[in-house]
């Protein structure tokens, strides 16, 4: 099922009365306002669980009764989700949390609104590493959960180290990719935009993704850079800086729907896919690009090593020369011969759904 159809299916199911014993999914109220990897994870997992016959629906506070649900699954950590988890816990409805989070000290400093704020955030991170049992809303949410589903063992270790999460309730559920990207055809993109080789970026145009750093790193190489994505709200200054730095060699194509054939074709047509973000868990676009046969350059921060191993090139976001060098090497060497098959073998959405369904069965047995 394509992303658009799966999304529509979830919305359709959520507009009808909930089946007694149904499975409720909750995400923050702003979900799908600026769609990214977390939303894709929700939609694709829901689509595959539907194929397994599970009664999934998006939680609506207006019509749904939590006490009638078999369980409630929270996607992402939010104070809003904490309120839902408290209510579910009081009514003895099992709570599952997919945290979809990462705390990267380098990013805390680099992405802060000012140096003082960066220092404070870094200090909080250091204190929590030493005293993980300190009270916080995130720790309370994780304590209330009957199961916690991080996207990687690295994320699991961080949750244990920073919030004292009980390892016994943790089950790693990886992110996934649609198998169809393996057969992506470059002809549509090339017929539309030309035959030239290029570096590709796909994702939100925001500071965490380090799009400005990528543009500055690629400019001296002379390689064309194609950017697929949209700017989230309140990023006008960052948008202007990216546009100014990219004059003359960046092609801005805007956001492309996930099931648009042009996206898969762009992956197949690109010579290098670059994602030198401040962290990734692990970057769904990188999984898709790698499966489509593209050479991948990605950040080492987050859980990327756990997914890609030595089959990609790594570039730190705070080292522009590292980004440039990795892209140049990837441009010359091409894709790792084992990358596409590795992704196909280990990260299909169907496997993600099976693991999730097993957790549901275990928690409600």
What is the rounded CA–CA span in Å between residue 203 and residue 217?
A: 17
Q: How many CA atoms lie within 13 A of 353 on its CB side?
A: 19
Using alpha carbons, list the distances in angstroms from residue 360 to 98, 140, 225, 288.
13, 21, 43, 27
Q: List the strands of the sheet with 272-275, edge to edge.
A: 250-254, 225-228, 199-202, 272-275, 295-298, 313-314
Average pLDDT of the segment spanning 110-133: 87
Q: Do 185 and 135 form a contact (C-beta atoms < 8 A)?
A: no
Number of other residues whose CB lies within 10 A of the CB of residue 250:
22
What is the rounded CA–CA span in Å between residue 330 and residue 321?
A: 14
Single out the residue of 207, 213, 175 nearest to residue 290, CA to CA: 175
pLDDT for res 263: 95
Which residues are CB-neighbours of 252 under 8 A, at least 6 positions away?
227, 243, 246
pLDDT for res 5: 43
Which residues are CB-neighbours of 357 under 8 A, at least 6 positions away?
49, 52, 54
Q: Return mean pLDDT, the chain.
A: 90
Helices (H) and strands (E) in the chain, counts: 16, 11
pLDDT at 109 > cutoff 90:
no
The CA radius of gyration of the chain, in Å to the nearest whole number, is: 21
pLDDT at 355 > cutoff 90:
yes
pLDDT for res 19: 65
pLDDT in tens, 277-307: 999 999 999 999 999 999 999 999 999 999 9
Element (H, E) at 101: none
Return the C-alpha torsion angle 211, 214, 216, 221, nearest 10.
Answer: -150
For the chain, domains (ranges, CATH) are: 3-176+348-364 (3.40.50.2000), 179-346 (3.40.50.2000)
Number of other residues whose CB lies within 10 A of the CB of residue 127:
11
pLDDT for res 1: 39
pLDDT in tens, 212-246: 999 999 999 999 999 998 877 777 888 889 999 99
**pTM score of the predicted model:** 0.91
């Amino acid at each position: 099922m394509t992303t658009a159809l799966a999304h529509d299916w979830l919305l359709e199911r959520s507009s009808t009365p909930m089946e007694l014993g149904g499975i409720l999914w909750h995400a923050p109220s702003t979900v799908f306002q600026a769609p990214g990897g977390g939303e894709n994870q929700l939609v694709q997992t829901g689509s595959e669980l539907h194929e397994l016959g599970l009664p999934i629906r998006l939680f609506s506070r207006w019509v749904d009764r939590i006490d009638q649900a078999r369980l409630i699954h929270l996607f992402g950590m939010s104070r809003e989700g904490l309120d839902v988890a408290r209510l579910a816990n009081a009514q003895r409805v099992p709570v599952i949390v997919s945290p979809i989070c990462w705390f990267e000290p380098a990013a805390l400093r680099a992405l802060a609104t000012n140096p003082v704020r960066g220092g404070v955030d870094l200090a909080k991170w250091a204190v929590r590493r030493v005293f993980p049992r300190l009270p916080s809303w995130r720790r309370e949410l994780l304590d209330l959960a009957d199961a916690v589903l991080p996207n990687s063992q690295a994320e699991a270790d961080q949750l244990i180290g920073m919030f004292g999460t009980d390892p016994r309730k943790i089950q790693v559920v990886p992110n996934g990719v649609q198998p169809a990207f393996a057969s992506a055809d470059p002809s549509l993109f090339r017929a539309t935009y030309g035959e030239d080789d290029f570096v590709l970026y796909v994702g939100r145009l925001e500071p965490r993704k380090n799009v400005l750093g990528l543009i500055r790193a690629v400019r001296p190489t002379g390689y064309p850079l194609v950017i697929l994505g949209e700017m989230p709200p309140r990023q006008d200054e960052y948008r202007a800086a990216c546009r100014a730095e990219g004059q003359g060699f960046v092609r801005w194509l805007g956001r492309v729907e996930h099931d648009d054939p042009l996206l898969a074709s762009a992956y197949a047509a690109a010579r290098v896919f670059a994602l030198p973000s401040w962290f990734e868990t692990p970057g769904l676009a990188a999984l898709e690009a790698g499966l489509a046969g593209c050479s991948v350059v990605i950040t080492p921060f987050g859980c990327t090593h756990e997914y890609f191993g030595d089959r990609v090139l790594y570039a730190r976001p705070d080292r522009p020369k590292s980004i440039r060098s990795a892209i140049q090497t990837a441009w010359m060497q091409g894709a790792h011969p084992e990358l596409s098959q590795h992704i196909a073998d280990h990260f299909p959405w169907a496997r993600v759904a099976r693991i999730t369904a097993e957790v549901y069965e275990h928690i409600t047995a």
